[in-house]
Amino acid sequence: MSEPEEQVEPLVTEIPPKAADLSAWYTAVTLKAELVSYSPVRGCVVLRPYGFGIWENLQKALDQRFKATGHENAYFPLLIPEHLLIKEAQHVEGFAPEVAWVTEGGQEKLTERLAIRPTSEVIIGVMYAKWIQSHRDLPVLINQWANVLRWEKATRPFLRTMEFLWQEGHTAHATAEEAREETLRMLEIYREVAEDVVAVPVYAGRKSAVERFPGAVETFSIEALMPDGKALQSGTSHDLGQNFSKAYDITFADIDQSVKHVYTTSWGMSWRMLGGMIMVHGDDRGLRLPPKLAPIEAVIVPIIKGSETQAVAEAHEVARTLSGQFRVRVDDRDYTPGWKFSEWEMRGVPIRIEIGPRDIQSQSVTLVRRDKAKGAPGAKETIQRSVLAQKLREELNDIQRNLYAEAKSFLESHTYVVGDRDKFFELCSSRAGMVDIPFCNRADCEANVKQKTSATTRVLRELREAAAVCVACGEPAVVQAYFAQTY
Ligand SMILES: [Zn+2]
């Protein structure tokens, strides 16, 4: 995908074929489905109601899992005083090129610059230093839903914008073991939400040293594979050890009264996950939304002939029987049924329910699935209204499973286990997908692969066979690594 410099919103009349130009397809779909709109601010997009509806469903899925694992939500300030930001050396070095600064307020020049948060470890760490005194105060398990700002040059809706929405969890623990457990628990929640809710299969694992979050002892991530063979980092969980607690002096009196630094973690998932969802599931007709994220699970379209209005009344009646159990909408706008069909297909609504004169007579409806190709078995079915709710639930579950299965089969068929050096470099250069090798985990070997192929390590896992050698350089291998080019 090339990065468009142009901020002018293209006038989208048709969606270009996905396989021909994923980038053009992606931009057209996000705009035409009314997920986003470009804004007058360079690098920032507007999340429109339909896009926000999808985000809200992702939020709910995450938030309910955070709370079930003992976390609470809170909110911290947007601005960070410079003298605080620079305390953790690696952290500030990592983020410095992306930080936007407030230097004036009203008519006054500020005596100290204020950073607009690129992430909140600092401001939260400062507060934790005040709140935590004793081992009795631990663990602290807090999540924040917020926007952050990172000064980016290119813009791609969801995938890369200056300002974006996310959640960031920040926790403090008495021991290194507890912090590591927390880091892995949240990684597992991200994997589960990506796969079970967003229907996007991922590889989860640990990051190499160069790919690590600035200031972390260890970073873990989930990585999805896009149709163009590039990986998309879709959620990260960081074990920060005592790096931040030492920089911000977050200490507690332990049971034996000795004063110790706490161990902290942070973890985040952003609306970037939605960019992955769009690319993975969409097709030439537009979006295909997994039911669990869809703001509208089923759209009801009355088929009106002439001045016949009974279908409209019946459509509303069907909607009434389904509301409460399903997110449904009746489209009784003054457009032709055919126009409405393609509009809702493009916007990815999982199921369309048609009600025409013949359906009314037979007390049935016609159910059309968005995930299946037109004319495919099971794409269209006539259902008795008496069993509609039950049938709708089954079909939605099946669509959720089907989208995941399709994506999973793509990921598996584009994962290459490689033992040959030339083949490895060729697959990485040609952006074939996830390339799985035994790896030495040395920074200079990784840098060499990146320089020659643009591919980087995505996640590291346990070595599959002991005594293997690194496919990239021939040195002894210590981990199994997925390499891929990335967004
Ligand atoms: Zn190597």
pTM across the whole model: 0.95
Ligand 1 centroid distance, CA of 449 (Å): 9
How far is 18 from 27, CA to CA, in rounded Å? 11
209 alpha carbon – ligand 1 mean position (Å): 14
* Res. 2 pLDDT band, cuts 50 70 90: very low
The CA 134 to ligand 1 mean position distance, Å, reads: 45
How big is the chain by its Cα radius of gyration, in Å? 25
Contact, 30 vs 237, CB < 8 A? no
Burial 278-310 (b: 16+ CB within 10 A, else e): bbbbbbebbbbbbbbbbbbbbbbbbbbeeeeee
* pLDDT tens digit sequence for 221-258: 999 999 999 999 999 999 999 999 999 999 999 999 99
Cα(236) to centroid(ligand 1), Å: 25
Distance 475 CA to ligand 1 centre (A): 6
- Residue 105 pLDDT: 94
Instruction: For residue 317, report the distance from its CA to the centre of ligand 1, in Å.
Output: 65
Q: With a cut of 60, say whether residue 322 has pLDDT above it.
A: yes
All residues at 6 or more sequence positions from 122 whose CB lies less than 8 Å from its CB, including other chains: 80, 84, 85, 87, 88, 91, 248
Please state, in angstroms and rounded to a whole number, the distance separating the CA atoms of residues 16 and 460: 36
Distance set, CA 455 to CA 88, 199, 225, 433, 470 (Å): 29, 25, 13, 10, 16
Q: How far is the CA of 477 from the centre of ligand 1 (A)?
A: 7
- 440 CA to centre of ligand 1 in angstroms: 4
The tokens for 235 are 């959620």
Convert the pLDDT of each residue in 391-409 to its tens digit.
999 999 999 999 999 999 9
- Residue 473: pLDDT above 80? yes
Domains delineated in the chain: 48-281 (3.30.930.10), 298-395 (3.40.50.800), 416-484 (3.30.110.30)
pLDDT at 11: 63
| Ligand 1 centroid, distance to 221 Cα (angstroms) | 21
**Packing angle, helices 388-413 and 272-281, rounded to 10:** 90
The torsion angles phi and psi of 209, rounded to 5 degrees, stand at -60, -40
CA of 443 to the centre of ligand 1 (A): 8
d(CA 450, ligand 1 centre) in Å: 12
Structure tokens that stand for 165 in this block: 């929405």
Separation of alpha carbons 253 and 76, rounded Å: 25
Collapse the DSSP code of 164 into the 3-class scheme (helix H, G, I; strand E, B; otherwise coil) and give the result.
strand
Give the distance (Å) from ligand 1 centre to CA of residue 418: 14
Report the Cα–Cα distance between both ends of the chain, in Å, rounded.
9
Please state the rounded mean pLDDT for residues 89-117: 90
Spatial CB neighbours of 300, under 8 Å, sequence gap ≥ 6: 315, 318, 319, 328, 329, 330, 331, 352, 353, 355
Task: Work out whether strand 108-116 and strand 79-81 pair parallel, antiparallel, or are unpaired.
Answer: antiparallel
Nearest Cα to 157, choosing from 30, 62, 14, 298? 30
CB 403 within 8 A of CB 283: no
Closest listed residue to residue 167, CA positions, set 62, 21, 12, 274: 62
The alpha carbon of 441 and the centre of ligand 1 are apart by a number of angstroms equal to 6
- Distance (Å) from CA 446 to ligand 1 centroid: 7
- Of residues 121 and 131, more confidence is placed in 131
DSSP 201-239: --EEEEPPTTTS-TT-SEEEEEEEE-TTS-EEEEEEEEE
- The pLDDT value recorded for residue 94 is 80
Condensed to tens digits (0 to 9), the pLDDT of residues 379-388 reads 999 999 999 9
pLDDT digits (tens, 9 = 90+) for 169-212: 999 999 999 999 999 999 999 999 999 999 999 999 999 999 99
Q: Is 454 exposed, middle or buried (0-12, 13-18, 19+ CB in 10 A)?
A: middle
| Rounded Cα gap, residues 460 and 266, in angstroms | 19
Q: Percent of the chain at pLDDT above 90?
A: 88
pLDDT at 1 over 70: no
Mean of the per-residue pLDDT values of the chain: 94
pLDDT-derived band of residue 3, with 50, 70 and 90 as boundaries? Answer: very low
Sign of CA dihedral 388, 391, 393, 397: negative
Listed residues: CB within 5 A of ion ligand 1: 440, 445, 470, 472-473
